[in-house]
Amino acid sequence: MARENYRALAKECYSTLGELNKLVHHASIEASLVHLVFLRVSQLNGCAYCVDAHTYEALAEGETPQRLYNLTVWRETPFFSVRERAALAWAEAMTRLPIGHPPEELHEETRRQFSEKEFVDLTFAVATINALNRLGVGFQGQPVKRN
């Protein structure tokens, strides 16, 4: 159980963040890629609730278990396309901002795989899941046990 009932105590903020979450899931980049980005960022941030939720969402929408099992080592596997690799690298760099700004070369490589609109939508997706992760981690959200 979460420390505080942030969803009720900050209902308008949580609702607005929820709307942003819906928007990025229906933006210009494919939903399967949003799921991969959301899951990878949640893994990096240690958000148990989000890792669980995004794993189940990805599976429900057709993602393969093998790719999800290997997402933590995506660089070492052949299971991800060039476009997906660019998105995952960008998501990791944007999530690890305290380590340093994403290199210009990474920006350029990612932009080669995405239109300008898609790149902006991808970056909003990364920002959104990072915000949600901070709520999940900060308030100790726990996954619900499934059968």
Q: What is the pLDDT of residues 41-94, one digit of tens each?
A: 999 999 999 999 999 999 999 999 999 999 999 999 999 999 999 999 999 999
Predicted TM-score (pTM) of the model is: 0.89
Domain ranges (residues) in the chain: 6-138
Could you report the per-residue pLDDT of 9-44, keeping only the tens digit for each?
A: 888 988 999 999 999 999 999 999 999 999 999 999
Q: Residue 45 is encoded by which pair of tokens?
A: 């941030």
User: CB atoms < 10 A from the CB of 21, how many?
Assistant: 16
DSSP sequence for 114-141: S-HHHHHHHHHHHHHHHHHHHHHHHTT-
Domain covering 6-138 in this structure, CATH number: 1.20.1290.10
